[in-house]
Structure 1
Amino acid sequence: MSMQPSSGAKSEIIWPSVITVISAAILIGAEVFGAAFAGGWALAILLGLSDTGAHILQAVMFGIGVVIMAGFIRQAQRIEPFWKRS
């Protein structure tokens, strides 16, 4: 017997899992992006960069934060699946 669901299988959203992951993403995202902006500002001062350099460094660190958050969401979906096939 195959473990694959049939093409007519229904999927339903598991709302408690979705809400849990979104809530954690909001909390962790606030910390990650706050650290990115503060870290970019602090590194710019440490390196003696101008305001433009500071903004560029903050943008780079913000991009790293986006990658971190995308990885978090992917891993969280593995632990808390969003869909249940019936």
Structure 2
Amino acid sequence: MTAQIPSTGRRTIAWPSVITVLSAAILISAEVFGAAFAGGWALAIMLPPDDFFLSISQDTWAHILQAILFAVGVFVMITFVRGAQRVEPFTRRA
């Protein structure tokens, strides 16, 4: 195997790729975060805090579940953008 020497040439931003990934990320994030908030609310109704011996209100329990699902959504979006960047590189050699 031979080691590849990194190029020292200029790199430019590939705007069509950036716009494509950004547009897809906006669309997908609207779905992911909408599902996180709706899912947190639905889970709070299906799994009341009394079932887990928690002495908190139903609204607080819903916010906790929404925050957990929101964090999962952030992970999903980071994974999506990193994967999309591999397919559609944001820079190219000039």
CA distance in structure 2 between the partners assigned to 1:13 and 1:61 by the alignment: 33
**Amino acid corresponding to residue 26 of structure 1 in structure 2:** I
Whether 1:27 aligns to 2:36 is: no
Query: Which residue in the other structure is 2:18 paired with?
Result: 18
CA shift digits 1:27-62 (9 cap, x unpaired): 000000000000000000001241101100000000
Structure 1 pair 85–5 and aligned structure 2 pair: CA distance change class (3 A)? farther
Query: Which residue in the other structure is 1:57 paired with?
Result: 65
- Write out aligned runs for 1:34-53 (5 A): 34-49=34-49, 50-53=58-61
Determine which structure has more spread, i.e. the larger CA radius of gyration: 2
Q: CA RMSD in A?
A: 1.6
SS at match of 2:62: helix
Q: How many pairs does the alignment contain?
A: 85
CA distance in structure 2 between the partners assigned to 1:6 and 1:70 by the alignment: 28
SS at match of 1:81: coil
**Amino acid corresponding to residue 84 of structure 1 in structure 2:** R
CA distance in structure 2 between the partners assigned to 1:52 and 1:45 by the alignment: 12
CA distance in structure 2 between the partners assigned to 1:6 and 1:51 by the alignment: 55
Whether 1:73 aligns to 2:77 is: no
Percent identity of the aligned residues? Answer: 64
- Unmatched 5+ residue regions in structure 2? 50-57
